[in-house]
């Protein structure tokens, strides 16, 4: 049964373009990425795609503390070339920031909450 669930879960992975047509840039509205995140459901194996102007922005995955403080010292990972792609590989919350200049403090940051898979409904659908 677990194999069936894993195949089901993998087959429904989604690619999310962060910020939709706005992309990954310093927003004029400080709630842009908060609202974008709240309007999407994220699952394991989903991919986040960050589109930005190379040299002006980057994307770093960071801890919650680094996200809250815009701390660029201890990055989990960083991508400097657009489109940057990050695959959700666990059910933890994930945090992303731009490390260039004061972009993070200008709300160029994203937090996502990963949905816990519903194993029983996945198994029932097969």
pLDDT digits (tens, 9 = 90+) for 27-80: 999 999 999 999 999 999 999 999 999 999 999 999 999 999 999 999 999 999
In 3-state terms, what secondary structure has residue 4? Answer: helix
- The residue among 104, 105, 115, 110 whose CA lies nearest residue 50 is 110
Residue 87 has a CB neighbour count (10 Å cut-off) of 11
- Residue 105 has what DSSP assignment? G
Instruction: Provide the whole-model pTM.
Output: 0.84
């Amino acid at each position: 049964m677990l194999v069936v669930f894993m195949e089901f879960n993998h087959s429904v992975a989604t690619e999310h373009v962060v910020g939709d047509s706005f992309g990954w840039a310093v927003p004029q509205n400080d709630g842009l990425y908060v609202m974008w995140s709240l309007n999407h459901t994220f699952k394991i194996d989903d991919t986040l795609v960050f589109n930005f102007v190379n040299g002006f922005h980057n994307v770093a995955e960071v801890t919650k503390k680094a996200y809250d403080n815009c701390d660029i010292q201890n990055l989990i990972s960083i991508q400097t070339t657009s489109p940057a792609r990050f695959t959700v590989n666990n059910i933890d919350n994930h945090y992303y920031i731009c490390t260039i200049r004061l972009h993070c403090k200008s709300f160029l940051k994203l937090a996502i909450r990963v949905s816990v898979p519903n194993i029983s409904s996945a198994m029932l659908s097969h």
